[in-house]
Structure formats: C-alpha cells, structure tokens
Amino acid sequence: MSSKVIITVAPTGGMASKAANPNLPTQPEEIAESVHRSWKEGAAIAALHARRPDDQATCNAEIYRRINGLIRERCDIVINNSTGGGSSGDMLLPRPDGMFENNFEERLKGLDAGAEMATFDGFTAVDVFGEREILVVTTPSRCETLAKRFQERGVKPEWEVFNPAHILQDVTRLIQKGYDKPPYYINIVLGTDRNFQGGMPYSHDLLTAMVRMLPPHAIWCLSAIGPAQLPGTTQALLMGGHVRVGLEDNNYYAKGVLATNEMLVARTVRIARELNLEIASPGEAREILGLTQQRQLGAA
C-alpha cells in the first residue's frame, strides 16, 4: 500500500460527447484548462484522449503534442496519453462485414507526443458504440509491437484491464518478458459491461478478486464507470488503491446533476482526506510510479 493516494483525472475519453455533457472538454485549449483546474483540486495524473477539430476521436501525435504542451505551460501534472483512441473518427476502419475495426496503426501514434506514460490495452474485445460494433484487435503479436514501441519511446505503460483474463494473460506475459520495470501500474476498469464485450460490472467482490490476481510489485488504480464511480473509488481508497475520476468515465456528479472534471476530483480529494489519506502531488506520483528513475535512465 502506498502512503499517498494518486488521483487521476480522465477529462475527455474517446466516446463521451458534448451532447451528453456540455462540460466535456474536447479541444486542446479546453482540455488543458480542465486539466489545470483538476490539478489545482488535487489530480496528479491526466489520462488524455485527443479529439479532432470536429470532436471525433484520434491519436494524432500533433494534436497530442498541442494538448501536452498547453498543459505543461500551466502545471506539472503527469501526462498519460491514450493508445486506445476511441470509437469514432480516425480510430475506425470499416470492414466488409459491416462492422468496424479499431485502427491499430493510429493507436501507435499516441506514443509519439512525448508523454511520460500511456495506456496499454493488451486485449481483444468488442466495443459497442450506438449501432456500431467495433472490433478492438490486439493480438499477442500486436501486444509485442505495442510493448516494443513503449520501450523505444521511453514511455511507462499504464496497463488497462477490464476482466481477470486481461491480468492473467498478456499483461502478465509482457511484464514477465521485461517490457516494464516495477512498480507496474495497473488500471482496473469496471462497469463497462453494457457497451464493451469483455468488460465486467463493478462490484466490491470483483474488485477484491482482481486485486488479488495482480502480479508481484504491482500497484493499482480503479476506474469505475458511470454510477459505479463514487462507490467504487471510495472502496478502492479503503483498499489502499489509487483512483481515476473524470468525464471519460462518468457524466454526473449526482442524479440529474451534470459534472465537471474538477468537481469529481474535488469530491474524491474530500473523501480521501475524510479517510485520513494523503493526496500525492505530481512529483510524489512520479516517485511512487518510478517515473523519476525512468527519466534518469532515459537521460543517461
């Protein structure tokens, strides 16, 4: 258990829309401002998705560099770019069978914008977005390609897992092959069962079971989706985990009350402090995650 809690803000995501919540930041200036406000409330990591000027999803490195640069002008939060992308725009490849496939080559571009961390989705699943069924194909060989690109770019993985098999299969295999250095940072995502074939609902029991499956030297974060966010993150704090909140995962602060990213971060900080937990600064988060050592190795 870490002595301090890392709070991640996920301000945008690859699926959410302004139609559902006008507070959603999608363009670089909006994202940077929302991240800055969330940092002031106590967020130590920003888990970022990029959007095109038309708000559709992309992993375009130039857009990521713009977002990252604007954030760096404002604060020292840890920058974590997505290699998952999203469910629209540049991320979609139409298939002859009428379905779509997530664009793997586009995903790789998320590593080319100078982030300290990036998400690693090492699994194959089906993302159901509206009427679309989108195949997210990350075969073992693609996992190897992605892992090697992480190493080449000097980017630390945030291993994303949506069910127990994701922990026990490619994440464990790639860690054992040396594609990451401890501590391994594993983000457990629960509550996606309604729109993600391969996802699971949130429950305290399931979270406990998945935490027990983590490899040695792992530290973990919970991302709980929608109404599961508040009970899930509170339980994760009680269990000694780190937590992610934000509009990528949850549009509402309370029933009928649309949230902002900083509102969700501020509430999480209040709950953590009520539990007598200390909040990690970005610098402390880097120490916990081994990012300072990684930077030194990269400079050498």
Confidence of residue 131 (pLDDT cuts 50, 70, 90): confident
Q: Compute the chain's Rg from CA coordinates.
A: 17
Query: Which DSSP string do the residues of 244-287 spell out, in sequence order?
Result: EESTTT-SEEETTEE--HHHHHHHHHHHHHHTTPEEPPHHHHHH
Find out whether 118 and 80 touch, Cβ atoms under 8 Å. Answer: yes
Each residue of 134-146: pLDDT tens digit?
999 999 999 999 9
Confidence of residue 1 (pLDDT cuts 50, 70, 90): very low
> In terms of Cα–Cα distance, which of 169, 120, 189 is closest to 148?
120
Q: What CATH number is given to the structural domain containing 157? A: 3.20.20.70
* Domain limits for position 223: 4-299
Find out whether 151 and 104 touch, Cβ atoms under 8 Å. Answer: no
Considering the chain, what is the average pLDDT of its residues? 95
pTM of this structure: 0.95
Each residue of 258-282: pLDDT tens digit?
999 999 999 999 999 999 999 999 9
Angle in degrees, CA 295, 298, 300, rounded to 5: 110
Helix axes 204-212, 229-238, angle to 10 degrees: 50
Residue 223 identity (one-letter amino acid): S
pLDDT at 296: 40
Indicate the pairing of strand 156-161 with strand 184-190.
Answer: parallel
How many domains is the chain partitioned into structurally? 1
d(C-alpha 146, C-alpha 5), whole Å: 29
Q: Is the pLDDT reported for residue 129 higher than 90?
A: no
Each residue of 188-245: pLDDT tens digit?
999 998 889 999 999 999 999 999 999 999 999 999 999 999 999 999 999 999 999 9
Find out whether 11 and 48 touch, Cβ atoms under 8 Å. Answer: yes
Q: Is the pLDDT reported for residue 298 higher than 50?
A: no
Tokens of 251: 């549009």
> In terms of Cα–Cα distance, which of 118, 137, 140 is closest to 127?
137
Confidence of residue 293 (pLDDT cuts 50, 70, 90): low
Each residue of 61-109: pLDDT tens digit?
999 999 999 999 999 999 999 999 999 999 999 999 989 999 999 999 9
Find out whether 7 and 42 touch, Cβ atoms under 8 Å. Answer: yes
Spatial neighbors of 66 by CB under 8 A, at least 6 apart, are 28
Find out whether 203 and 188 touch, Cβ atoms under 8 Å. Answer: no
d(C-alpha 246, C-alpha 263), whole Å: 9
pLDDT at 77: 98
> In terms of Cα–Cα distance, which of 109, 10, 119, 121 is closest to 64?
109
d(C-alpha 213, C-alpha 119), whole Å: 20
